[in-house]
Amino acid sequence: AVSQVTVRDALNQALDEELERDERVFLLGEEVAQYDGAYKISRGLWKKYGDKRVIDTPISEMGFAGIAVGAAMVWLRPVCEFMTFNFSMQAIDQVINSAAKTCYMSAGSIGVPIVFRGPNGASAGVAAQHSQCFAAWYGHCPGLKVVSPWSSEDAKGLLKASIRDDNPVVMLENELLYGVPFEMSEQAQSKEFVIPIGKAKVERQGTHVTLVAHSRPVGHCLEAATVLAKEGVECEVINLRTIRPLDIETVEASVVKTNHLVTVEGGWPQFGVGAEICARIMEGPAFNYLDAPAVRVTGADVPMPYAKILEDNCIPQVKDIVFAVKKALNI
């Protein structure tokens, strides 16, 4: 049976199942326990698992991220929630210098099985200090795995895979998707459902142009594809799911078929996820199949304004994707 499940409930389900499955798993962060989570992702988990497994922390990202990394080094499996990834800047020393580099620097003798998760990128009306996308930042760093879910199935399968992975994983969620319901198959709702890290998913088959996105813009791409289909343009939409390691093979196979590429992301243009995809396509076997230059659709190159109308103009909209596709196809 297929049922509608919100991203919030999918994440809650994943945490519940993994806390139950492995007693080394615990959740910590601001408001995660008694308040049921700032976004209600951890609803009911403190009541069910108690103080040792679901832990409210002081407002000190560097502190609790450090505690979590230390716990992971002695083989517990912490899930460290940031209230927004902008606040992970307070703890970036722990995430990069302690978590990401330790396995390599210890010649593989110290693992750091930790998940850093929380909302990433722009929400609505929260201004510059709460609206940045960190996919490119964390995707830049060897030693980390970075996942960026779109649907409820993505959210559940990737969170479970991240918790079970022996490496540090950064999971970039989107606050505006938390309340959005998606269809979830019976298989996706089973306790053993995981999505392999490092594998993209083709969400829509098409022949004229490849659209590559992650997180919320995947939905925008599908909407743009529906609009363009009315004009006879068939878009293939790829949901990256993982930022690092990047599944460039799926993108290449699509570009070989469609001969056109448009990348879409909420982050800034310079050194972004789209920039990396374009470079990798140019360096690889799919380059000879391109009939036009690849086009990037990104957020505007400014700190996020507070005003609603300015914010809308800074975030890629469906019309921007449609425009980019027509530019790529020269129509």
Return all residues near 190 (Cβ < 8 A) that are at least 6 apart: none
* Strands, E assignment, the chain: 3-6, 25-29, 54-56, 77-81, 115-119, 145-147, 169-173, 181-184, 201-204, 209-213, 235-239, 242-244, 261-264, 295-297
- Render the burial of 52-61: b for 16+ CB within 10 Å, e for the rest: ebbbebeeeb
| CA atoms of 70 and 241, how far apart (whole Å) | 28
pLDDT of 268 higher than 90: yes
Task: Report the pLDDT value the prediction gives residue 244, as an integer from 0 to 100.
Answer: 98
Task: Report the pLDDT value the prediction gives residue 37, as an integer from 0 to 100.
Answer: 98
- Render the burial of 125-151: b for 16+ CB within 10 Å, e for the rest: ebeeebbbbbbbbbbebebbbbbbbbb
Residue type, 96: I
pLDDT class of 259 with cuts at 50, 70, 90: very high
CATH number, domain 3-189: 3.40.50.970
Q: Are 274 and 213 in contact (CB under 8 A)?
A: no
**pLDDT single digits (tens) 217-250:** 999 999 999 999 999 999 999 999 999 999 999 9
| CA atoms of 156 and 152, how far apart (whole Å) | 6
pLDDT of 1 higher than 90: no
Q: The tokens of 80 are what?
A: 């460290």
**pLDDT single digits (tens) 186-220:** 999 999 999 999 999 999 999 999 999 999 999 99
Among 234, 241, 181, residue whose Cα is nearest residue 214: 241
| CA atoms of 41 and 118, how far apart (whole Å) | 9
| CA atoms of 327 and 331, how far apart (whole Å) | 6
Percent of the chain with pLDDT over 70: 100
Task: Report the pLDDT value the prediction gives residue 192, as an integer from 0 to 100.
Answer: 96
**pLDDT single digits (tens) 80-94:** 999 999 999 999 999
Which part of the chain has CATH 3.40.50.920? 201-329
- Tell whether pTM > 0.95: yes
Within 117-186, where are the H helices?
135-139, 152-164
Q: Which residues are tagged catalytic?
A: 61, 130
Level-2 CATH architecture, domain 201-329: 3-Layer(aba) Sandwich (3.40)
Q: The tokens of 61 are what?
A: 């990202």
DSSP SS3 for 29: strand
